Amino acid sequence: MGDRRHDRSALMASYRTPLSRARGLGSAKHGVGVWIGERVSAIALVPLTLWGVFGVLRLAAGDYNFAVAWISHPLNAVLMVLLVALSFWHMHAGMRVVIEDYIHVTLNKTGLLLINLFVCGLSGALAVFSILKVALGGGAY
């Protein structure tokens, strides 16, 4: 009986060794917040995307003046800005996860993360600026 208990103890110790070596290398305690943020933005994008499809179908039937009048309506302008901003933020978050998970060379990872940030940020800012310019009466450039 003593030998059997010793064997179990040695077996359990062998399972704990990799865990003890990995302590301190696990989660940085920020992954859950990122995960929840991605899910919240995805849920918010569902009704916004449905509204966006409805809006595009309405705009397809009208002319330029109809489109300017449509986007000049405050509710449409706000919802369009939310749709664009959340879409670019969600794209940035998703690409960040892909880069962090699949790119293992630190310099490449850092460069791609910066490119992702700048492309998503600049594209989103330009889109929001364009929507606001038309909505606030600036018209086409």
69-105 pLDDT per residue, tens: 999 999 999 999 999 999 999 999 999 999 999 999 9
Domain coordinates in residue numbering, the chain:
30-135
The tens digit of pLDDT for each residue in 13-23 reads 555 556 565 56
Tracing tokens 């690409």 back to the chain, one arrives at 95
Write phi, then psi, for 105 (nearest 5 degrees): -85, 120
Q: Quick one: pLDDT band at residue 34, thresholds 50, 70, 90?
A: confident
115, 98 Cβ separation under 8 angstroms: no
Fold of 30-135: 3 helical TM bundles of succinate and fumarate reductases (1.20.1300)
107, 51 Cβ separation under 8 angstroms: no
